[in-house]
């Protein structure tokens, strides 16, 4: 199976193994070992996934329910049901389905990452670390940098800046072009009052990608703290010009949660 990425923003990523990559729909090819029911369930997962991406949650729920009727061991169906229930404010049901997916594939990196993201979103930071560690221990997990970045976000939210920096640096070691890790390392340095280091990470980010609103807001504050008011004002002008509706919630936005499914 191929991986579906439901990524929504900076970090806290959740991915699914199933039929889509990004938002482009492609027919799923039946695998030789699949039963007819499993193949039919996979098609229902693909449809449910597309409805979920399009925001039609009721139809998504119907398709995913049918998928689980056809194949109760579909990890993708359980993962997407969990995502759907998170969106509609039913964390207890979401947790049940995350756990059901993990019961089927307990060592899968993407599924452990997903559950870590869920627990972090519930403020259960210590619990989430266990699952991020399991995710990065899976030798077949193709995107361990995502789990390290998620662990870094969660550690920062818990107030552990040392663990946060360690995880973001590991993510950056795996991918030096990881703009999520660069932004977050700049943010950690800013929170520590290490403004020159924060500036260096911001400059590395800007060399790789156009800055978004959160990066511009952070950069403006960093330059202001360093006493370069002219440079700070340039960042503020860019923020106002390019993101006129941006409302700075104190200092930089939280990463938007996103998600993964297992690698089959």
Q: What is the CATH number of the domain that holds 167?
A: 1.25.40.10
Handedness of CA 208, 213, 219, 223 (dihedral sign): positive
Query: 3-class SS at 194?
Result: coil
- Cα angle, residue 84 at apex, residues 140 and 100 outer, rounded to 5°: 50
DSSP-derived letter for residue 41 is H
pLDDT of 26 reads 32
What are the pLDDT digits (tens) for 198-254?
999 999 999 999 999 999 999 999 999 999 999 999 999 999 999 999 876 554 444
Phi–psi pair at 164, nearest 5 degrees: -60, -50
Give the whole-angstrom CA distance, residue 52 versus residue 6. Answer: 10
The answer to whether 18 and 261 are in contact (CB under 8 A) is yes
Residue 219 domain boundaries: 4-260
Query: 3-class SS at 7?
Result: coil
Mean of pLDDT over the chain? 86
The answer to whether 3 and 142 are in contact (CB under 8 A) is yes
- Of the pLDDT bands very low, low, confident and very high (cuts 50, 70, 90), residue 31 is low
pLDDT of 247 reads 79
Averaged pLDDT for residues 78-94:
96
**pLDDT surpassing 80 at residue 262:** no
Give the whole-angstrom CA distance, residue 217 versus residue 209. Answer: 16
pLDDT of 264 reads 47
How many structural domains does the chain have? Answer: 1
Residue 261 burial by CB count (10 A; 0-12/13-18/19+): exposed, middle or buried?
buried
Q: Where are the beta strands (DSSP E) in the chain?
A: 4-5, 14-16, 259-260
Alpha carbon distances (Å) from 86 to 79, 130, 235: 11, 21, 35
- Of the pLDDT bands very low, low, confident and very high (cuts 50, 70, 90), residue 14 is low
Provide the CA 229 distance to its chain's centre, in angstroms. 34
């Amino acid at each position: 199976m191929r991986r579906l990425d439901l990524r929504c923003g900076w970090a806290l990523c959740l991915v699914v193994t199933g039929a889509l990559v990004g938002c482009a729909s492609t027919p799923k090819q039946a695998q030789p070992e699949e039963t007819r029911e499993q193949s039919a369930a996979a098609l229902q997962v693909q449809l449910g996934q597309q409805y979920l991406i399009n925001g039609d949650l009721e139809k998504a729920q119907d398709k995913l329910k049918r998928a689980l009727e056809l194949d109760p061991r579909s990890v993708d169906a359980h993962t997407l049901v969990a995502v759907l229930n998170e969106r509609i404010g039913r964390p207890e049901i979401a947790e049940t389905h995350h756990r059901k997916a993990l019961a089927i594939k307990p060592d899968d990196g993407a599924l452990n990452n997903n559950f870590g993201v869920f627990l972090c979103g519930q403020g259960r930071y210590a619990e989430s670390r266990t699952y991020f560690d399991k995710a990065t221990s899976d030798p077949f997990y193709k995107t361990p940098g995502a789990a390290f970045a998620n662990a870094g976000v969660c550690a920062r939210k818990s107030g552990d800046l040392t663990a946060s920096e360690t995880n973001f640096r590991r993510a950056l070691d795996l991918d030096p072009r990881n703009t999520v890790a660069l932004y977050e390392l700049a943010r950690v340095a800013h929170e520590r009052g290490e403004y020159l280091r924060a500036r260096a990470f911001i400059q590395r980010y800007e060399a790789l990608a156009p800055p978004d609103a959160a990066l511009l807001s952070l950069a403006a504050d960093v330059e202001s703290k360093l006493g370069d008011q002219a440079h700070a004002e340039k960042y503020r002008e860019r923020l106002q010009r390019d993101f006129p509706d941006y409302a700075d919630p104190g200092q930089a936005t939280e990463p938007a949660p996103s998600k993964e499914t297992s690698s089959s």
